[in-house]
Amino acid sequence: MESQSLFSGFCSNSITPLYRNPQNPLSSSPPSLSYPCFNQSKYQVSFENQYFLSSQRLRSVRRLLCKNSVEKVSNLVSEKEGSKSWVKRKRLAVFVSGGGSNFRSINQACIEGSVNGDVVVLVTNKHACGGSQYARDKGIPVILFPKTKDEPDGLSPDDLVKVLREFEVDFILLAGYLKLIPAELIRAYSRSIFNIHPSLLPSFGGKGYYGMKVHKAVIASGARYSGATIHFVDEHYDTGRILAQKIVPVLANDTAEELAARVLREEHKLYVEVTAALCEDRIVWREDGVPLIQSKENPEEYY
């Protein structure tokens, strides 16, 4: 099929190759159980470890990439009723532009098991940023997007969608990604893209409000409270429905740096909390379209 030629067109010497050379077999596991190896450190996760099995609705069609034959794998469906249900382990894509502290925090939680998911790919617009260096150290494939003068190896929007589909990404988490998400991606991943913003949206959000500029604006306004907001992503900056917020006080003698540090601590906690809920299928929708999180301890409660 086309997938191999698509990927070999993306590989370049300046970034970690997405796929190993298809002539080298990836593993000695039976083809139906192994996933493609995406980088040179031979990071590989076998199929059975990736999924919790649902006793009721297991389907056995699977898709293999980087092989000559392709079989489709359907998603295992989670069973929500009853306490002994299994939920599919989610595949996450994280988008960063900078240091990636939220990415690290989420990745760590995935590894430790507090999040029922894995970061399977990192997308960045800056190939040398802290987040992408950390990703390479951890064996997580790095994709460049978008294509610009400074980053000529970047993908086009359509190619990005194709690649994410091939990675079978379930959710996209923006964590300090400064480019606008293209409409093609939003259409393809409707209700599956999240962003974190270091203020209590809608205050201090929108184009131009990023990083330290947010905290400076908060202090200059005299606002006595700030915080972090996680929201769904639509075609504009910071305008999608709010999913979760955490508050911090703004003190009379705060500098922007002190406020930023206080907010960042809450961002890390909030993004891990929300990602945990996401990967356990605990996001529900109110009638008016507002997303709510179902409490884990008490499924009758929402927040």
Nearer of residues 33 and 292 to its own copies, judged by Cβ = 292
Numbers of helices and strands, H then E, in the chain: 8, 9
Q: Least separation, in Å, of the C-beta of 298 and its own copies?
A: 12
| Spatial distance between the Cα atoms of 59 and 73, rounded to a whole number of angstroms | 8
Residue 199: enclosing H or E segment and its boundaries? none
* Closest by CA position to 56, among listed 32, 84, 33: 84
From residue 219 to residue 238, the character string flagging contacts with its own copies as x (rule: CB under 8 A) and all else as - is: xxxxxxx-x---x-------
Token readout for 121 is 């790919």
Nearer of residues 288 and 297 to its own copies, judged by Cβ = 288
Burial of 4 (0-12, 13-18, 19+ CB in 10 A): middle
| Spatial distance between the Cα atoms of 259 and 216, rounded to a whole number of angstroms | 9
Q: Least separation, in Å, of the C-beta of 201 and its own copies?
A: 7
197 has catalytic annotation: yes
Alpha helices in 181-255 (DSSP H): 183-188, 212-221
From residue 186 to residue 205, the character string flagging contacts with its own copies as x (rule: CB under 8 A) and all else as - is: --------------xxxxx-
Catalytic residue among 127, 197, 215, 268: 197
Q: Is 244 in the site for its own copies (CB under 8 A)?
A: yes
For residue 236, what are the CA distances in angstroms to 18, 111, 240? Answer: 30, 32, 8
Q: Least separation, in Å, of the C-beta of 80 and its own copies?
A: 19
Nearer of residues 58 and 247 to its own copies, judged by Cβ = 247
Q: Is 212 in the site for its own copies (CB under 8 A)?
A: no
Nearer of residues 184 and 281 to its own copies, judged by Cβ = 281
Name the site residues for its own copies (rule: CB under 8 A).
200-204, 219-225, 227, 231, 241-245, 247, 251-253, 286, 288, 290-292, 302-303
- Annotated catalytic sites, by residue? 197
